[in-house]
Homo-oligomer: A and B are copies of this chain.
C-alpha cells in the first residue's frame, strides 16, 4: 500500500499490531503489518529473551517495542524504593480488594506476601528502569519505539535517532498531539476514547480529523488511528479522514496466538461494544477494560483509585489471583475475570489466527473502498 507509514517502516500494509505476546507480534509482522511488543511489565532480562525470540521468528522483517515513560509519577527521577512504595499503599484499598474477592469465594490472604512481585511495572516507570528497557530494545533490530503515555524524554529521542529507529507516541487530545510533534516524534498514534487500555474521552471519529488538521503547520507527521478499530472497514474509514494507517491492540486478544486466558477470550467473543468500561481502578489513570463485577465494585462503591503506579499494586495482585483461579474453573473468579479491551470488542465475534486477522483487514479494507466507490458511481 502507498502510505508514508509503509515507506517509513518498510512494511507492506500500514497495520500496527500491539501485543504483550511475542507470538502475536511476530505473526503480525510476518503477515505484512508490523508487530509492536508491549514491554512495560517486563524486567530487562525477560525483555531481552522475548526480543531475541522475535528476532528468530521474523526473518529480518520489521517490528517495534512499546514502553511507558510517563512525565509524572510517584518516585520519578529516583531509584525505586520498594519498601517505601509498598508502604504507601493504604489499607483501605487493599482491604476493599480483598473484600470484593471474598464476596466471590476467593481467599485473599496470600496476596499480601506476594505484592512485591508486582513492582516491575513501577520499576519500569522510573528513569533508571525505562533506560534499562531502552538499552535492551535498541540492541535489537527494531524499527519503531513507542511511548504509550506522555512525551518521550530527550534521551529516548536521541537514542532512537542514533539507531535510526522511528519514535511513535500515543495521544488522546489535540493539545497533546501538538506538544508531541513539537518535541519531535516521527509518528502520532491518535487514540480515541473507545480504545482499550489507557484512553482519553474524545472519539476516534472526531480526534483523527481534529489532530490531522491541528498538526498541519508542523509538517508531515503521519498519523496512525487507534481506538475501536478491529476491522479493515474502520481502518479505511480512519484513513479517509487523514490517518496513514492503524494501530490496533484489542483485536489480537482473541487470536489463537494470544496468551489471553480462555475465560476472558470467551467473554470477549461474546461481548457487545457496551460491555467495556473506562475506569481508573486498574492503574490509577482512566483505562478501558471488559466490565465485570470487579470493575463494577470499584466504580460503584470502591475508594477513589490511587495515583499511578500505586493503584496497580492493589489491582494487579488481586487480578492475578483471579486469573489463576479462573483458569482452574473457579466460578467466582470466572465471573470477576477481566482484561483491557476497547469498544471494538463488539466486532470481535470469531476466534481466528493472527495472520487471518491481518488478511481479513486487507480484504475488508478493499471492500470498504469499493463500497465508497459505488456511492460515487466510480470504478473501484
Q: From known contacts A206-B346, A228-B203, infer whether A174 and B236 are also in contact, taking CB-CB under 8 Å.
A: no
CB pair B347 A2 closer than 8 Å: no
Q: Mark A273-314, 1 if CB is under 8 A from B, else 0.
A: 110000000000000000000000000000000000000000
Residue among B175, B204, B239, B272 making CB contact with A205, cutoff 8 Å: B204
Copy tally for this chain in the complex stands at 2
Prevailing SS type, chain A contact patch = helix
CB pair B371 A376 closer than 8 Å: no
A118 at the interface (CB under 8 A from B): no
Contacting B at CB under 8 A, from A4-26, are none
A227 at the interface (CB under 8 A from B): yes
* Chain B nearest CB, measured from A254 CB (Å): 16
CB pair B374 A2 closer than 8 Å: yes
Complex formed: what's the CA distance from A206 to B228 in Å?
6
Complex formed: what's the CA distance from A111 to B259 in Å?
61
Q: Which residues of B contact A374 (CB under 8 A)?
A: 2
Q: Which residues of B contact A238 (CB under 8 A)?
A: 205, 237
CB pair B194 A209 closer than 8 Å: no
CB pair B174 A346 closer than 8 Å: yes
Q: Show 27 residue pairs from A and B whose CB-CB distance is below 8 angstroms, ordered by the A residue.
A: A2-B374, A2-B375, A174-B272, A174-B273, A174-B274, A175-B272, A192-B203, A192-B205, A201-B274, A202-B274, A202-B346, A203-B203, A203-B204, A204-B205, A205-B234, A205-B238, A206-B342, A209-B234, A210-B347, A213-B347, A233-B240, A233-B242, A234-B241, A239-B371, A241-B368, A378-B380, A379-B379
